[in-house]
Amino acid sequence: MNIVVTGGAGFIGANFVYFLLKNRPSDKVICFDALTYAGNLETLATAQFMPNFKFIRGDISDRAAVDELFTTMRPDVVVNFAAESHVDRSIDDPELFLRTNIIGTSVLLDACKKYGIKRFHQVSTDEVYGDLPLDKPELFFTETTNLHTSSPYSASKASADLLVQAYGRTYGIPATISRCSNNYGPYHFPEKLIPLMIINALNDKKLPVYGEGKNVRDWLYVEDHCRAIDMIIRHGRDGEVYNVGGHNERANIDVVEMILHILGKPESLIEFVTDRKGHDLRYAIDPSKIEHELGWKPKVKFEDGIKRTIDWYVEHEDWWKKIISGEYQQYYEKMYGNR
């Protein structure tokens, strides 16, 4: 199969590219990525040597570029990871999120309609369900939970999901959607909680925890997410939504303390800072559907995955030092300077 992976130079997309190259050697993997601040060709350096891998620089909201992608590569499957993905950036400047996440998805769907496709898979997020209260641990997001978004980011992702479902119903595009909880692992851009805290701790810098650090996220090791998507594109049913998560809920402060403990750094590095606007309280996925229908189960326990991730950042200073020495400096100052 020819599999186009949009956003494959970002965190999860790149992990998915490597997952396919390792586990599906007869597939051809084409990464289509605009290389925004979050895309990184160095992440794909090893893939570039593989004969069944090709990188094409392009923007999913650019109709001519997407048409050319479809006519030259003739994809059987498109997996759409390409997105503006950071909630804080969406609060600061929503418009780009609408262009990439909504218009970009519609342009890809139009190409699927025009040229045909065996499967379009939309990589969505549990954030489309909004949040759950902290004092009702019995509540979980299921695939039938109402969409109820909080940030411009999650609103743009929910809009994209609705478009995917509309194109499925109206034009018969064979499409699936996965809604996963928070991922962590190698190649995670250091604007997000776990890599930011690891890198700040390694540099003996303050660790900025929003509010009181009580917000809860449901963490999944990135490879488990990649395996779920691989199962969905091969065995999932057209038109279906699959929630992906591993019942691994943790308060932010507990995650941050764990990172400090593993690195042997003092808790005095923690600094509580002004909370995120509209900050979602708790995410918690009910993954029963994908478990029962496709036999998916997470393989990596958080205690192991977080150690593996920290080791990766310790061993790959070159990768993140280049990132944090560039425009990231201005980003950091803008977001955290007066917080």
Taking contact as CB under 6 A, which single stretch among the options 58-66, 167-175, 190-198, 299-307 is the one that binds ligand DAU? Answer: 190-198
Single out the segment in contact with ligand NAD by CB under 6 A; choices: 29-37, 255-263, 303-311, 322-330. 29-37
Both tokens of 62, joined, read: 């650019």
> Interface with ligand DAU includes 309 (CB under 6 A)?
no
**Contact pick of 104, 195, 245, 287 for ligand NAD (by CB under 6 A):** 104
User: Exactly one of 99, 118, 214, 276 binds ligand DAU (CB under 6 A); which one?
Assistant: 276
User: Which CB, 169 or 261, lies closer to ligand DAU?
Assistant: 261
| Residue whose CB is less far from ligand NAD, 123 or 132 | 123
Least distance to ligand DAU, CB of residue 36, Å: 14
Judged by CB under 6 A, which stretch of 22-30, 35-43, 82-90, 301-309 contacts ligand DAU?
82-90
As measured in angstroms, the least distance from the Cβ of 12 to ligand DAU is 9
Instruction: Point out the residues that are catalytic.
Output: 126-127, 153
* Cα gap 308→259, rounded to integer Å: 11
Q: Which residues bind ligand DAU (CB under 6 A)?
A: 85-87, 125-127, 181-182, 192-193, 196, 208-210, 215, 217, 252, 276, 283
